[in-house]
């Protein structure tokens, strides 16, 4: 006979038993009803070396219908991240996908933090780029995203690889906007990379991140705990180099610069390529294993502002608001990424 509960703790235990996280059992990036239909995506980013790889993967892989690239201040100032989006798209021969620039500062602060120490003065140091031919079609990324979402026949997925400012502004300006899912690179179930507790994209605009996690929309969090396993090793670099195209050379130059800053700042032997894992998880959901969890962003901590508190073990009893990635298959990821560079390189 089941034991009767005698303390208040059992109510919480009931919630934990009922909803114990399915650790690593696959993210809820549900396959489309028509498994062959491409997933409509807007990619909101702050290029950024690793953002550039996210753009390339989204543009190249037929499982993604890339509707727009929108930019935000983050790794560098907005003018630089926007120029960098246009630069990598031009170098990769990506045309016909609109670029719109968005917010140049966090929601609630007069200026943001940039990451010159990782991405250099340009935000994408390493290669030399020619004059970009890809235009900026709008300087109101928030309104632009809304008009795409409102007019697209299928529900749109938002992928965020920079500070969450644009997407939070979208949710504030257009409550109830019908977004299918928001997949974010940000946060961690463990430690940070800009403070001991906080990851860069969240730290750069914690209020925006809290709005996204608290939105009630399905959110997938791809944090440092998994992206730090997706490394541009010497073997990865030689596979890219062996493609032998001008685009492959640009990618090698990007990763070589990025490797040098990760080595000198963090002592990494090979740098983690965070952002394209978001896109890869949509293409091949088996790349990530997720656990549903309540995620809260620390807004007030003096030493912990911008930390993501990920309640994997259901301590709080709060309802899960997120699928947090907890496992990753880096080999499957690199197979997709290298194929994308190969395919784009054929056309350049």
Binding mask 42-81 for ligand BDR (x = CB under 6 A): ------x-xx-----------------------x------
118 sits near ligand BDR (criterion: CB under 6 A): yes
C-beta of 51 vs 125, nearer to Ca ion: 51
Cα distance between residue 164 and residue 140, in whole Å: 15
Only segment of 24-32, 195-203, 297-305, 315-323 that touches ligand BDR (CB under 6 A): 195-203
Residues 6+ apart with CB under 8 A from 295: 187, 213, 219, 221, 308, 309, 310, 311, 321, 322, 324
Q: In what helix (H) or strand (E) does residue 257 lie, and over which residues does it extend?
A: helix 246-266
Q: Which of 44, 199, 205, 323 binds ligand BDR (CB under 6 A)?
A: 199
What minimum distance in Å lies between the beta carbon of 7 and ligand BDR?
A: 41
Determine if 112 is a binding residue for ligand BDR (CB under 6 A). Answer: no
As given in the structure block, the two tokens for residue 329 are 């298959």
Residue list 315-334, contact with ligand BDR (CB under 6 A): none
Which residues, in sequence order, are CB contacts of 1 under 8 Å at separation 6+? Answer: none
Using the rule CB under 6 A, is 193 a contact of ligand BDR? yes
Shortest approach of ligand BDR to residue 118 CB, angstroms?
5
Measuring CA to CA, how many Å separate 284 from each of 30, 218, 228, 262, 319? Answer: 10, 18, 19, 28, 27
Residue 320 has what DSSP assignment? P
200 touches ligand BDR (CB under 6 A):
yes
Q: Is 201 in the site for ligand BDR (CB under 6 A)?
A: yes
**Would you say the C-alpha torsion 167, 170, 175, 180 has a positive or negative sign?**
negative
Point out the residue whose Cβ comes nearest to ligand BDR: 200
Residue 62: CB atoms within 10 A of its CB come to 9
Query: Is 324 within 8 Å of 227 (Cβ atoms)?
Result: no
Count of residues that interact with ligand BDR, criterion CB under 6 A: 14
Taking a C-beta distance cutoff of 8 angstroms, is the pair 252, 244 a contact?
no
d(CA 278, CA 223): 10
274 binds ligand BDR (CB under 6 A): yes
Using CB distances below 5 to 8 A depending on partner kind, what does residue 118 bind out of Ca ion, ligand BDR, none?
Answer: ligand BDR
Using CA atoms, how far residue 229 sits from 265, 283, 327, in Å, is 17, 19, 9
The stretch among 192-200, 233-241, 255-263, 332-340 that binds ligand BDR (CB under 6 A) is 192-200
Partner interacting with residue 199 (select from ligand BDR, Ca ion, none; CB below 5-8 Å by kind) = ligand BDR
Residues in contact with Ca ion by the rule CB under 5 A: 46, 48, 51, 161-162, 275
- Per the annotation, the verdict on 274 as an active-site residue is yes
Q: Is the dihedral of CA 60, 62, 68, 72 positive or negative?
A: negative
Least Å distance between CB 45 and Ca ion?
Answer: 6
Which residues of the shown chain bind ligand BDR in the complex (CB under 6 A)? 48, 50-51, 75, 115, 118, 161, 185, 193, 199-201, 274-275
Residues that are catalytic: 274
């Amino acid at each position: 006979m089941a034991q009767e509960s005698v303390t208040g703790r059992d109510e919480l235990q009931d919630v934990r038993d009922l909803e114990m996280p399915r650790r690593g059992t696959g993210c809820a990036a549900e396959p489309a009803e028509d498994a062959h239909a491409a997933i409509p995506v807007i990619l909101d980013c702050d290029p950024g070396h690793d953002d550039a790889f996210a753009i390339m993967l989204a543009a190249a892989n037929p499982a993604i219908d890339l509707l727009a690239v929108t930019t935000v201040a983050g790794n560098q100032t907005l003018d630089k991240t926007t120029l960098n989006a246009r630069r990598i798209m031009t170098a990769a021969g990506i045309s016909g996908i609109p670029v719109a620039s968005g917010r140049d500062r966090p929601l609630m602060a007069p200026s943001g933090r940039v990451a010159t120490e990782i991405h250099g003065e340009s935000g994408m140091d390493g290669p030399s780029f020619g004059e970009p031919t890809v235009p900026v079609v709008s300087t109101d990324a928030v309104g632009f995203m809304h008009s795409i979402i409102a007019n697209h026949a299928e529900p749109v997925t938002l992928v965020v690889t920079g500070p969450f400012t644009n997407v939070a502004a979208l949710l504030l300006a257009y409550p109830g906007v019908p977004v299918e899912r928001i997949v974010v690179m940000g946060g961690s179930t463990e430690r940070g990379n800009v403070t001991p507790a906080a990851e860069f994209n969240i730290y750069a605009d914690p209020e925006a991140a809290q709005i996204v996690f608290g939105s009630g929309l399905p959110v997938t969090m791809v944090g440092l705990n998994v992206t730090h396993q997706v490394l541009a090793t010497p073997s990865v670099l030689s596979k890219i180099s062996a493609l032998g195209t001008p685009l492959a050379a640009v990618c090698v130059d990007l990763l070589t610069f990025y490797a040098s800053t990760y080595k000198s700042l963090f002592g990494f032997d090979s740098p983690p390529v965070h952002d394209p894992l978001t896109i890869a998880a949509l293409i091949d959901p088996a790349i990530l294993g997720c656990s549903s969890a309540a995620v809260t962003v620390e807004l007030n901590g003096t030493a912990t502002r911008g930390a993501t508190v990920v309640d994997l073990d259901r301590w709080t009893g709060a309802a899960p608001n997120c699928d947090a990635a907890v496992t990753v298959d880096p080999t499957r990821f690199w197979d997709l990424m290298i194929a994308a560079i190969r395919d784009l390189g054929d056309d350049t």
